[in-house]
């Protein structure tokens, strides 16, 4: 890793909390900023321009809509289109994109914009304890934060699939889902019938990470660019206590850190979205610091408490 080579990046906040009922995560983007997210990544070698937040109105002001299978559909589509435009613009200007959520529906706009900017030549590495591959036909809740990955692959409601462009954003074969432990039957059926690559927590526990690394490399070999979507609930709650849905059986620090470093070293990462951070539940900024460290690693940069200490205490 070479922190001396500066990488231009645009930071975009999406304080979205309409995808589910996890109140508090809308504070995530600004909480990262208040905790020095930009300054820390600047010291790690990312030249960050903060583009501010996509406008997200307060939840109580937003109409839920009449479709019980697609809660807050119109506003989520509007926010997703605005997010996509900002990401598209950043990529067009030769910059990496860092998108901070908000709930995981943030990913829908982020990846849609990135995909359009590179004409669909993109793969998606998706860290999540959940599948997020339901559609309006299979959802058990009507919460759209369980549908965005399916929508990016072209499955489900047309309004979600056609955010920013009518094309499929990521081909199913170019998705790699990592860390899943809580699945709905419809999601498992979709993975099986569409042959969507997935490496579950059961795979990790029974096979280790050895078989996953070639899957990451194979994905990068098929596409020019890679996007990383990180739901903090993929990480064990002892390291990410402020995830929107804390996970008691998630990835350990050494596992997620190694994977982030491997991706940064072997993939052409175009952008990253980090979602589901609730600062009200954090302990000593532990979750935010880990997220900052992982973002740096995904871009092949180095940030940790130790490197941060050294940069702030030069000889």
Active site residues: 104, 128, 130, 132, 145, 231, 233, 276
Residues 272 and 227: their CA atoms lie apart, in Å, by 6
Spatial distance between the Cα atoms of 117 and 262, rounded to a whole number of angstroms: 25
Q: How many CB atoms lie under 10 A from the CB of residue 253?
A: 15
Other Cβ atoms less than 10 A from the Cβ of 140: the count is 11
Q: How many CB atoms lie within 10 A of CB 280?
A: 10
Please, which residues bridge with residue 126 across strands? 177, 229
Which of 89, 177, 90 has its CA nearest to residue 129? 177
Residues 154, 270, 285, 176: is their CA dihedral positive or negative? Answer: positive
Q: Are 268 and 216 in contact (CB under 8 A)?
A: no
CA gap 184, 195 in Å, rounded: 16
CA distance 121 to 299: 19
Cβ-proximal residues to 176 (8 Å cutoff; 6+ apart), any chain: 123, 124, 125, 126, 197, 198, 199, 215, 216, 219
Q: Which two tokens mark 64?
A: 């839920």
Rg (CA), the chain: 18
- Looking up tokens 């926010």 gives 79
- How many CB atoms are closer than 10 A to CB 66? 7
């Amino acid at each position: 890793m070479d922190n001396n080579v500066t990488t231009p990046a645009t930071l975009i906040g999406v304080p979205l909390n309409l995808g589910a009922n996890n109140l508090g995560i809308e504070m995530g983007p600004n909480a990262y900023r208040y905790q020095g997210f930009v300054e820390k990544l600047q010291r790690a070698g990312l030249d960050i321009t903060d583009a501010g937040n996509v406008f997200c109105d307060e939840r109580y002001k937003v109409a839920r809509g009449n479709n019980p299978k697609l809660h807050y559909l119109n506003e989520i589509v509007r926010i997703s289109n605005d997010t996509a435009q900002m990401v598209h613009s950043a990529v067009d200007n030769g910059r990496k994109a860092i998108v901070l959520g908000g709930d995981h529906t943030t990913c829908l706009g982020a990846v849609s914009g990135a995909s359009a900017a590179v004409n669909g030549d993109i793969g998606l590495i998706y860290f999540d304890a959940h599948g997020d591959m339901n559609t309006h036909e299979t959802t058990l809740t009507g919460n759209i934060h369980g549908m965005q990955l399916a929508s990016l692959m072209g499955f489900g409601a047309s309004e979600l699939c056609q955010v920013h462009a009518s094309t499929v954003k990521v081909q199913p074969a170019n998705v790699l889902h990592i860390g899943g432990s809580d699945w709905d039957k419809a999601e498992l059926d979709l993975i099986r019938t569409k042959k969507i690559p997935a490496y579950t927590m059961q795979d990790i526990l029974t096979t280790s990470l050895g078989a996953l690394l070639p899957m990451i490399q194979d994905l990068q070999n098929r596409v020019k660019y890679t996007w990383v979507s990180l739901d903090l609930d993929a990480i064990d709650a002892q390291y990410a206590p402020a995830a929107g849905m804390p996970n008691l059986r998630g990835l350990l620090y050494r596992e997620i850190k190694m994977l982030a470093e491997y991706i940064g070293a072997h993939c052409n990462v175009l952008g990253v979205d980090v979602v589901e951070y609730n600062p009200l539940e954090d302990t000593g900024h532990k979750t935010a610091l880990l997220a900052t460290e992982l973002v740096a690693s995904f871009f092949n940069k180095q940030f940790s408490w130790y490197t941060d200490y050294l940069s702030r205490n030069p000889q």
